């Protein structure tokens, strides 16, 4: 009996997850199709991390500080953000509008928690570039302070490495801080966005 194309896709995806459970399987014992499908179902089910992110859905005002050079005064600006859930609460989608370096700025981001990797993941794109910036990371002991890391190419060559600290204070307040290191130099704070939910 032929399997459907969708079933085959699910099975292929499950095969990626199987090595994660290899330690739990007895040597030489092959996981059957039903067990693989159950595993995939578990990996696809939103959990507590997804509920945490989904709680951020709504309308926000923002106050941004950006540092063009270490030790120099920050440029400050106000903005807005709209956050909504996607894929039955598996991801959140943000539309951000404000200023950056004194110019009108807009960006969109998608954030989620990858059950298979056991990591938070984020993708960001904005009006100041043509690339998609990817970061991933984990939460601290409180479950609400998420540290993400990523990098992107710099003009003239090389990579700028970033570390972001995303503090979800509660459903009405969050703070996003970004630290960067140019060409292997010492890391410094480059951005801070304080989010407050609109009444």
Residues 6+ apart with CB under 8 A from 63: 76, 77, 78, 79, 193, 194, 196
> Are the C-beta atoms of 85 and 92 separated by less than 8 Å?
yes
The CA distances from residue 42 to 6, 47, 114, 139, in Å, are 18, 10, 12, 21
Beta-ladder partners of 122: 111, 135
pLDDT in tens, 169-190: 999 999 999 999 876 678 999 9
Report residue 32 as tokens: 């059957």
Rounded CA separation 199/195 (Å): 12
The domain containing residue 64 runs over which residues? Answer: 50-197
pLDDT in tens, 125-148: 999 999 999 999 999 999 999 999
Q: Are residues 11 and 82 in the same domain?
A: no
Residues 6+ apart with CB under 8 A from 12: none
Q: Are residues 22 and 106 in the same domain?
A: no
pLDDT at 113: 98
Question: What total of structural domains would you count in the chain?
Answer: 2
Q: Are residues 60 and 34 in the same domain?
A: no
pLDDT at 6: 37
Rounded CA separation 163/151 (Å): 9
Q: Are residues 9 and 88 in the same domain?
A: no
> Are the C-beta atoms of 191 and 160 separated by less than 8 Å?
no
Single out the residue in 29, 44, 59 at which a domain terminates: 44
Q: Are residues 116 and 100 in the same domain?
A: yes
For the chain, residues with pLDDT lower than 70 are 1-29, 183-184
Which helix (H) or strand (E) is 40 found in, with range? helix 33-44
């Amino acid at each position: 009996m032929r399997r459907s194309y969708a079933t085959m896709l699910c099975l292929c995806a499950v095969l990626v997850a199987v090595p994660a459970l290899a330690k739990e399987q007895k040597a030489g014992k092959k996981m059957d199709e039903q067990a693989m499908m159950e595993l995939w179902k578990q990996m696809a089910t939103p959990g507590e991390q997804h509920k945490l992110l989904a709680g951020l859905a709504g309308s926000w005002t923002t106050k941004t500080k950006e540092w063009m050079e270490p030790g120099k005064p920050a440029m400050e600006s106000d903005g807005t953000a709209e956050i909504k859930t996607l894929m039955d609460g598996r991801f959140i989608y943000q539309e951000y509008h404000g200023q950056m370096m004194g110019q009108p700025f807009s960006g969109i981001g998608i954030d989620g928690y990858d059950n298979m990797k056991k990591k938070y993941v984020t993708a960001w794109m904005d009006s100041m570039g043509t690339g998609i910036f990817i970061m991933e990371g984990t939460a601290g002991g409180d479950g609400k302070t998420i540290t993400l890391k990523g990098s992107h190419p710099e003009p003239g060559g090389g990579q700028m490495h970033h570390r972001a600290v995303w503090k979800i204070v509660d459903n009405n307040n969050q703070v996003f801080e970004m630290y960067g290191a140019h060409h292997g130099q010492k890391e410094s704070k480059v951005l801070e966005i304080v989010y407050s939910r609109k009444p």
